[in-house]
Amino acid sequence: MRPSTKLTPNDNPSKYVQEGYCIFRQQFTNKEMELYQQTLDNMLDCLRPGEKPQFMFEPHVGSQHWRTWLSLARHPKILDAVESVLGSNLVLILSHFIIKGTEDSMHVGWHQDQRYWLHGVEGDNLCTAWLAFNETNRQNGCMRILPGTNQPKLLDVNVKEDDGSTITTLEVDVDKELADTAVDIELHPGEFSLHDAYVIHGSDSNRSQDFRKIYTMRYADADTTRFTSEKWQIPFFLVRGEAMDTDFYIDLRPNKDLPEDQPDCMLVQKLRAGTYGKIPVDY
């Protein structure tokens, strides 16, 4: 693993492979973000007592507003950025709101995303788009990345007890010398970053008086990634380019309309039956 001495955030896609991440500035205007902001705020307003906003998993499939989030996940501005680091054949595998409230002191421990999807996705060319809905900074717990830690290797993990608020239970040890190389991914609303599936990252708790609102969308290179659906709770979506077996995916390439009906899958079935644990009821 190569610690980086460069603490200035990387905004050059050509350095993505070296650094393990890249920031994309000035992407969505306030006007372009308006629908998404309003929809997310309405979802937060519907949270019931005891429900946690960080457990609004897979809104592009399971949410009442799934069409809105599925549309955003295939937006050309995001896909153009993802294509610049993964190539032209892209599959959407997951999405997730990582929203920090002000009362539960949730922090996200150092981890690798790759560790969390091994049961259905196998490959080394995957990334996460991390889109800001409000100002993200150290005060409200922005993401922190350890540049250059994106070697294609899974590190040993400490299994952390689920305390009811954390979203990371598989954390990696990071010594102080390496932690001191962390780069703060501070973003304005409508800006996003991309980070590699292996790069080590985490974040501190929210010390502000408002939500920290982030939407993450996870993508894979269709050419080099293997997918299995038996234990995967949602469909895989082909969002750009070509794939070996297009019948395996829901085809969501730019010339395709959004699905008429909410995709039927294990996640939706569990939500309708009221058997999916932490996900809010009315999200």
List the structure tokens of 110: 């150092």
Is there a domain that residue 281 lies in? no
Type and span of the H or E element at 83 = helix 76-86
List the structure tokens of 13: 């896609």
Is there a domain that residue 35 lies in? yes
Q: Does residue 154 register a pLDDT over 90?
A: no
Which pLDDT belongs to residue 20?
A: 96
Rounded to 5 degrees, what are φ and ψ at 167? -110, 0
Place of tokens 């395996």: 248
For the chain, give the mean pLDDT: 91
Host domain of residue 110: 13-273
Q: Does residue 156 register a pLDDT over 90?
A: no
Is there a domain that residue 282 lies in? no
Of 1 and 203, the structure prediction assigns the larger pLDDT to 203
Is there a domain that residue 6 lies in? no
| Residue 15 one-letter amino acid | K
Is there a domain that residue 4 lies in? no
Is there a domain that residue 283 lies in? no
Under the banding of pLDDT at 50, 70 and 90, the label for residue 244 is confident
- What total number of domains does the chain contain? 1
CATH at 251:
2.60.120.620
Place of tokens 């309405």: 42
Q: What is the largest CA-CA distance in the chain?
A: 52
Q: Report d(CA 2, CA 149) in Å as an integer.
A: 6
Give tens-digit pLDDT for 11-60.
Answer: 999 999 999 999 999 999 999 999 999 999 999 999 998 888 888 999 99
Q: Report d(CA 224, CA 218) in Å as an integer.
A: 15
Which pLDDT belongs to residue 4?
A: 41
Is there a domain that residue 83 lies in? yes
Is there a domain that residue 1 lies in? no
Give tens-digit pLDDT for 163-200.
Answer: 667 777 788 898 999 999 999 999 999 999 999 999 99
